[in-house]
Chain A
């Protein structure tokens, strides 16, 4: 349940802020100068805050579009990401955001036009080459759609730029606003799935696998490019049978030939994020599993990771054309 709304004084009269305030009018409102005052202080407990997070309405001053980390994306040459919001409605225990931010409050930026301008400029710097813009790095792209109305602005924007591609990464079922628009070939909605055991134990608040397959199927039927992301694959005693079941469940409904892309990667976190999150959730089995530190990244020991990826890849290849597959490459 959302506990209160913080708003930067400078955006009080912004039309998007006014819309948000109208929706959230029953909640206490606190004026602030800059979202960092509330979001960044160290003396905050992400776990407690997640039980009743606040909404922070803010303006993103700079760095609206950033180069994507090495290995992120679908193998394109020019990869960028942008975040119209920080943090997420859902509460996946493996999510790195819990380790990255001090606060579980959700920051909603309202100056979409500045993001749009930077997207245009970035695409123009690589004229005639495909440039990928990933949304859903610091948040779930669509989960807050009824509030953020993200697609209303960003879909027409990306559609209007010849060499721009955009990935929306989501675990939500919020596709209604997309279904109201004409499909766009260079906008891919990528749905992330974990097997039913991991979903039940680790993905708190995330809609059921079935509901998400439904949402995917509706987008495909409407002509939208759709991708599948099996990342992170989490180890547990029955991960093999659970993964096989998940693929059955998905491909019973989804025509693999119609998928834009599929990617797969095992659970991993930077050492710092792993430490912070495991301190927040000391009772969590995910963090008590046998892990290795490799180049600043904590992940499964190499032989286990290899076994998991080999198994999952082999199963996937029984369903999808090889050219749609993009493994997540993160070993240096």
Chain B
């Protein structure tokens, strides 16, 4: 699942339209929009809101094999042109001084920048960093559920010393909309990485079928998981394996059979 995290509806709108995400009517804590392998959550302003929303949505996605995140929003900068899109490579929380580093795992031609997350709005422009109000809360929370390679922040300049978009929501949406193709390319790269991670996991249905064959202790489950992940990733057909295992009715016999298959298979390297 790829999760878009936006503070405001006007930031999320172009993403929701582009991917044709549908509003979820079951939940009330945050506005959430769903699509295939993707959702967008509108968190409200501030790092605490962003952190809370990430934790809340991650808990609802706990059955997903892997989560990837994009925090998309607008930011201020001293000199950069309005509408410029940046991938963030360093996030500093202004209050705590804590730094975070989204890992640069997606190959990109986008400009990169640091971003300072402030607790209160400010019009004090700094030369060497963008500034926003969410990124540090977002990454603090998202890194509990995903690795730094799957946790990205994209910021579009909405204010600089000369021009301010301020609370003009329509204009914010236009700035995001103008970059939607670049944003989509970044998202596609991230989705590919996420799929690499997810593909290594055991499909929930075959795992449940396997567990139903016998009673496994926790240690046996751990061993079973290693063997099943290996064979699944070597493209052994799970239903054929399950049929073969059905003849054995003890956990140790099932594990011994899977071990023999793995040992034989791995001798070729």
List chain A positions with a Cβ less than 8 A from chain B: 1, 3-4, 6, 28, 30-33, 37-38, 41, 43-45, 47-49, 51-52, 54, 197-198, 201-202, 234-237, 278, 282-283, 285-290
Contact = CB atoms under 8 A, between A and B. Distances in A.
B126 interface: no
Contacts of A235: 267
A298 to B, nearest CB: 12
Contacts of A278: 226
Given A37-B99, A44-B148, A234-B269, A54 B104 contact: yes
A236 B230 contact: no
Size class of B's contact patch?
A: 35 or more
B269 A201 contact: yes
Nearest to B259: A290
B196 A48 contact: yes
A236 B269 contact: yes
B189 to A, nearest CB: 10
A52 B89 contact: no
A198 B229 CA distance: 22
Residue of A6, A30, A234, A236 with highest tally of chain B CB at under 10 A: A30
- Give the 10 A-B CB pairs with smallest separation, nearest first: A283-B233, A285-B266, A45-B147, A3-B104, A288-B266, A28-B112, A282-B229, A48-B149, A43-B143, A236-B269
Given A30-B90, A54-B104, A283-B200, A44 B147 contact: yes
Nearest to A103: B103
A141 to B, nearest CB: 27
A4 B89 CA distance: 9
B269 A43 contact: no
27 contacts: A4-B104, A30-B90, A30-B101, A30-B112, A30-B114, A31-B90, A32-B90, A33-B99, A41-B101, A41-B143, A41-B148, A43-B147, A43-B148, A44-B103, A45-B147, A45-B150, A48-B149, A52-B105, A52-B106, A234-B269, A235-B267, A237-B267, A285-B234, A285-B269, A287-B230, A288-B230, A288-B266
Given A31-B90, A43-B148, 11 more contacts: A3-B107, A30-B114, A32-B90, A33-B99, A44-B147, A202-B269, A234-B269, A285-B268, A286-B269, A287-B230, A290-B263
Contacts of A286: 266, 269
A198 B267 CA distance: 11
Given A41-B148, A48-B149, A237 B268 contact: yes
B265 A288 contact: yes
A282 B233 contact: yes
Contacts of A287: 230
B107 A1 contact: yes
Nearest to B227: A288
B188 interface: no
A43 B267 CA distance: 33
A38 B149 CA distance: 12
